[in-house]
């Protein structure tokens, strides 16, 4: 049954990017929603630090007992989280989607970065341990998130993209991932890329997700930097100690910008932007993509000497 929602506009980032929140008719806030429109490279050239962060940093993820969503207009990609602590959380539809259920015309990728949790999807339970992933296909109707231990709650990181075809729901544990060992300590970028929700592992419509783990002593991710004009990407940084940080680089190759990121924050990367980062120590991050094709190697590389 579709839940009736009351849309509450509670503030504005600027004249064109509203921040909105949704609550059930009973007033129990469980879902928060934000909408951001796409901007081009010419606009970004004039941004100061705060404008850059307002536009591309996602810093409201992993709120206890809440589902949070950011709707971007890059490939209509959505990034979010669900953290069930004292209660289970339902994946509710949003007024902005104009659909009777959230996944009526979308697919969903889930990676757990917390304690053990369970996702109940159309009556089937999927148990997710730390760094396990779950794909839910188009037209999945009822989805509920639960933690097995409220003292160590699950932290479900969520990515969603429009889907034109239904593919089967499937659990992909970290042990099931296709692992690429890349880089080396000489260039401070030795890392394991765990390909999880991509077409060499499972069938998806356009969504791709995986996680990268940097080895001790390595700090650079995705170097040489690249961009892919045919899809967007979002980086979610985690396992970043409280006293450390990651500097995420974005922008055009000849005119780069940077955003300082802390634990469990994400950065939205438009198709025209590079994406790379360096931390004050090693860390992990989840990458999620959607766009024109499913070719993981579809990247335009830029050597370190070419960056400006």
- Residue 166 makes CB contacts below 8 A (sequence gap 6+) with 137, 138, 139
DSSP 8-state code for residue 215: P
Count Cα atoms within 13 angstroms, Cβ side, for 258.
12
Residue 281: which pLDDT band, with cuts at 50, 70 and 90? very high
pLDDT value of position 297? 74
Q: Is the pLDDT of residue 307 over 90?
A: no
Residue 301: which pLDDT band, with cuts at 50, 70 and 90? confident
Average pLDDT of the segment spanning 39-51 = 95
User: Do residues 281 and 219 lie in contact, with contact meaning Cβ atoms separated by under 8 Å?
Assistant: yes
Q: Residue 52: helix, strand or coil by DSSP?
A: helix
pLDDT value of position 167? 97
Q: Residue 189: helix, strand or coil by DSSP?
A: coil
Give residue-wise pLDDT tens across range 56-78: 999 999 999 999 999 999 999 99
Identify any residues that bridge with 120 across adjacent strands, giving them in sequence order.
125, 144
Q: Which two tokens stand for residue 280?
A: 């004050």
DSSP string computed for 229-285: TTEEEEEEEES--TT--EEEEEEETTEEEEEEE-TTEEEEE-TTS-EEEEESS--EE
Residue 23: which pLDDT band, with cuts at 50, 70 and 90? very low
Q: Which two tokens stand for residue 272?
A: 């025209």
pLDDT value of position 26? 39
**pTM of the predicted model, to two decimals?**
0.90
- Residue 80 makes CB contacts below 8 A (sequence gap 6+) with 61, 67, 68, 69, 70, 157, 158, 159, 160
Q: Is the pLDDT of residue 191 over 90?
A: yes
Instruction: Tell me which residue has tokens 């932290």.
Output: 155
Buried b or exposed e, range 47-70, using 16+ CB within 10 angstroms: beeeebbbbbbbebbbeebbbbbb
pLDDT value of position 21? 45
Average pLDDT of the segment spanning 181-195 = 96
Q: Residue 147: helix, strand or coil by DSSP?
A: strand
297 or 140, which is more confident: 140
What proportion of the chain, given as a percentage, has pLDDT over 90? 81
Residue 17: which pLDDT band, with cuts at 50, 70 and 90? very low
Average pLDDT of the segment spanning 219-243 = 91
Average pLDDT of the segment spanning 115-123 = 98
pLDDT value of position 7? 35
Q: Residue 67: helix, strand or coil by DSSP?
A: strand
Count Cα atoms within 13 angstroms, Cβ side, for 46.
4
Residues found in the chain:
308
| E strand or H helix that includes residue 55 | helix 49-56
Count Cα atoms within 13 angstroms, Cβ side, for 209.
31
User: Do residues 253 and 93 lie in contact, with contact meaning Cβ atoms separated by under 8 Å?
Assistant: no
Average pLDDT of the segment spanning 251-263 = 96
Report the number of secondary-structure helices (H) and strands (E) in the chain: 2, 25
Question: Which of 89-103, 160-174, 225-239 bottoms out in mean pLDDT, i.e. has the lowest?
Answer: 225-239
pLDDT value of position 28? 54
């Amino acid at each position: 049954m579709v839940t009736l929602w009351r849309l509450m506009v509670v503030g504005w980032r600027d004249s064109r990017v509203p921040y909105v929140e949704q609550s059930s008719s009973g007033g129990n806030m469980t879902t928060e929603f934000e909408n951001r429109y796409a901007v081009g490279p010419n606009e970004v050239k004039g941004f100061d630090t705060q404008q850059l962060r307002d536009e591309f940093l996602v810093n409201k993820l992993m709120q206890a007992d809440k589902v949070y969503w950011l709707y971007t207009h890059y490939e209509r990609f959505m990034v979010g989280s669900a953290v069930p602590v004292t209660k289970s959380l339902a994946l509710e539809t949003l007024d902005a989607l104009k659909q009777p259920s959230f996944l009526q015309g979308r697919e969903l990728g889930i990676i757990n970065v917390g304690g053990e949790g369970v996702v109940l999807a159309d009556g089937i339970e999927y148990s997710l341990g730390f760094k396990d992933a779950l794909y839910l296909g188009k037209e999945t109707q009822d989805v509920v998130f639960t933690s097995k231990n409220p003292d160590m709650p699950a932290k479900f990181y969520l990515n969603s993209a429009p889907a034109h075809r239904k593919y089967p729901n499937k659990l992909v544990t970290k042990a099931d991932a296709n692992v690429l060992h890349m880089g080396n300590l000489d260039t401070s970028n030795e890392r394991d890329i765990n390909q999880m929700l991509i077409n060499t592992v499972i069938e998806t419509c356009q969504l791709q997700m995986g996680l990268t783990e940097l080895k001790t002593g390595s700090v650079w991710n995705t170097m040489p930097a690249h961009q892919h004009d045919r899809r967007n990407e979002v980086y979610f940084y985690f396992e970043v100690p409280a006293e450390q940080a990651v500097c995420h680089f974005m922008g055009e190759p000849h005119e780069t910008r940077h955003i300082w990121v802390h634990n469990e924050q994400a950065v939205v990367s438009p198709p025209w932007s590079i994406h790379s980062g360096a931390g004050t120590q090693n860390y992990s991050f989840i990458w999620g993509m959607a766009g024109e094709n499913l070719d993981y190697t579809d990247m335009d590389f830029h050597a370190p000497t070419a960056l400006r």
